[in-house]
Amino acid sequence: MAIQLNQAALRHARALIREGKVVRDERDEWSEAAPTPDEENGFIEREGWTQYSHWHIGVDRREDAETKGAYSFPFGDFRRVHRSGVIAGESRAGQHDHTEIRDAMKSLLDLIDEDDGKS
């Protein structure tokens, strides 16, 4: 799989974090916070594939852009960035040698934690 960093999603995540649209949950909470397939389908139906792509740091450009298989490393619930999703993505990217994605997730985590320190 040729997964690449989705720059548009990274910009989207940074903007959400700067706007304070963050859930500061813990690592193990992502399995409960991650959107369900039905929630994903509803979001795609309402907002379209481009908006869906903005919630995934990984993209496989060899896949059809209008399939879920093209997108990986989700980080939020279509409203807010979840710290747990960023942590899960960073860990998984590191395990699968997706260095650029791992580093992007780490930068998001740093931004979340830096912002948290200012509160």
Q: What is the pLDDT of residue 26?
A: 85
Name the pLDDT band for 116 (thresholds 50, 70, 90).
low
Yes or no: say if 52 and 43 are a contact pair by the CB < 8 Å rule. Answer: yes
Q: Taking 60 as the threshold, does the pLDDT of residue 18 lie above it?
A: yes
Average model confidence (pLDDT) across the chain: 94
Q: Which residues, other chains included, contact 70 with Cβ-Cβ below 8 Å and sequence gap of 6+?
A: 53, 59, 60, 61, 63, 64
Q: Taking 50 as the threshold, does the pLDDT of residue 117 lie above it?
A: yes
Helices of type H across 26-98: 30-33, 37-47, 49-53, 83-95
Q: Taking 90 as the threshold, does the pLDDT of residue 1 lie above it?
A: no
Q: What is the pLDDT of residue 119?
A: 45
Domain locations in the chain? 3-118
The CA distance from 17 to 23, in Å, is 9
Total-model pTM: 0.92
